Amino acid sequence: MAEDLKAMYKTIMDDNFPPDMEVSFFDGNKRQTLIYEKVSWTIDNVIKGLRYGENPGQEAALYKLVNGNLLLGEIETIQPGQYLASDIELLQSGKHPGKTNLTDTDNALNILRYFHDKPTVVIVKHNNPCGVARSDDLEDAYLKSYMADRVAAFGGCIAANRAIDKKTAEAISNQYAEVVVAPDFEEGVADILAKRKNLRVIKIGNIDKLQTFVGQKFVEFKSLIDGGIIAQWSFTPSAFNKNDLALAECEYKGQKYMVKREPTEDEYNDMLFGWLVESGITSNSVIYVKDSVTVGIGTGEQDRVGVAEIARDKAYRKYADRYSFEKYGVAYNALSDPDKKNEVDSKVSEEKGGLIGATMVSDAFFPFRDGLDVGLSEGVLSVVQPGGSMNDYQVIDACNEVGATMTFTGQRSFKH
């Protein structure tokens, strides 16, 4: 049975999807049609598209937009030929990519497009980032993103917005990943990454032009259980610099409430960094960031207090693992020496999981102050959120009580 299960994941699934697809929007005498072409790759003399869908046994196909245009109102779709994840170049692979490899890559690019100014690395697992970091050096950005959640990064998709150099490649080759994607790979890097036989090394030259994709929209399709389809325009953040963030204020029962402290430049930077990372995370979500690195990421929860607590708890656990690994070379859960474990626990407790001075980011408003209090009680000193709750005055008071600052984006960023 075990061998059968292993064989299941090695199977290359045939698909019966046709080579071309058209999606037409028709209004009276006006028809707008988008034309798509199925993508395939040749690996070990096998011509095949996606290996399989979300699970073995599910047929799947990847189509890229090759012609057509859609204009609804004043919103226009991204133009054909501006390819990213739908037109990848496989430099090394013992396997065809599967659906999850492509969707993880795509969501990594979705986040990366906002950070062209500095080397940035996004590590995605199950379509959510587990570590995001930007730095002046690509290797440093990779190591920080990896150590942000070393456990979840196992088998993930690593995406960088700079050409992979030898130092970064050596660091990547020390870990297990499914995919590494970058705009280019410096000479000698291929030999280093080849140490990982089944690592999918993907080159996407257009990553160098990712910033041109900011603000461009595409149509998202969600199929329903009865075959129905929901179509919507893709989400576009509207806050890109500190002038796009408003200091938190509101009026309640004739009284005006305003946060007393304006953010520092570093806090503004982390607010913007966190808000743009947040746009690629499944809702409900709350994340904590510090110094352009994710500290704790909470995803896909039904209540905001719960997700704030999950992100906090993850920050504590990941900090313990990171400190143990850096000091003793082993995971926290593998520490057998009680004295060493106590030292790690004391360090994590003293520094509150790295949350002291961090920024708290929420994809929607806090309906009550209890969710916000989770972060403030851990030493969070800045908050960015959409605002707009009837109880905004409560969260403003909560910040003022501890000297924290808060800004409103005026925009919700749910992602389902």
**pLDDT category, 6, cuts 50, 70, 90?**
low
State residue 3's pLDDT score. Answer: 59
State residue 5's pLDDT score. Answer: 60
Mean pLDDT of 355-380: 97
Residues present in the chain in total: 416
**pLDDT category, 8, cuts 50, 70, 90?**
low
**What's the gap between Cα 302 and its chain centre?**
19
**Percent of the chain topping pLDDT 70:** 97
pLDDT(19) > 90: yes
C-alpha–C-alpha distance, residues 238 and 263, integer Å:
19
Q: Which two tokens stand for residue 317?
A: 């656990």
| Beta strand spans in 41-97 (E) | 41-43, 46-48, 63-68, 71-72, 75-76, 89-92
User: What residues contact residue 73 under an 8 Å CB cut-off, 6+ apart?
Assistant: none
pLDDT(381) > 60: yes
Instruction: Give this prediction's pTM.
Output: 0.93
**pLDDT category, 407, cuts 50, 70, 90?**
very high
State residue 93's pLDDT score. Answer: 75
- For the stretch 181-235, pLDDT in tens is 999 999 999 999 998 988 999 999 999 999 999 999 999 999 999 888 898 999 9
- For the stretch 127-173, pLDDT in tens is 999 999 999 999 999 999 999 999 999 999 999 999 999 999 999 99
pLDDT(1) > 60: no
C-alpha–C-alpha distance, residues 129 and 121, integer Å:
10
Mean pLDDT of 229-251: 95
State residue 45's pLDDT score. Answer: 82
DSSP state for residue 155 in the 8-state scheme: T
> Which one of 49-63, 89-103, 168-182 scores highest in mean pLDDT?
168-182
C-alpha–C-alpha distance, residues 193 and 331, integer Å:
24
**Percent of the chain topping pLDDT 90:** 82
Mean pLDDT of 70-90: 90
Tell me the one-letter amino acid at 41.
W
C-alpha–C-alpha distance, residues 362 and 278, integer Å:
8
Mean pLDDT of 54-72: 91
Q: Which of 51-55, 191-195, 281-285 has the lowest mean pLDDT?
A: 51-55
Q: How many other CB atoms sit within 10 Å of the CB of residue 123?
A: 28
Pick the more confident residue, 8 or 43.
Answer: 43
- For the stretch 293-334, pLDDT in tens is 999 999 999 999 999 999 999 999 999 999 999 999 999 999
Mean pLDDT of 104-124: 97
State residue 94's pLDDT score. Answer: 72
State residue 70's pLDDT score. Answer: 93
Q: Which two tokens stand for residue 160?
A: 């960088």
| Residue 244 near residue 329, CB atoms below 8 Å | no
Report the relative pairing of strands 246-247 and 405-408 from DSSP bridges. Answer: antiparallel
Chain-wide mean pLDDT for the chain?
93
State residue 198's pLDDT score. Answer: 86
State residue 279's pLDDT score. Answer: 94
pLDDT(2) > 60: no
C-alpha–C-alpha distance, residues 414 and 412, integer Å:
6
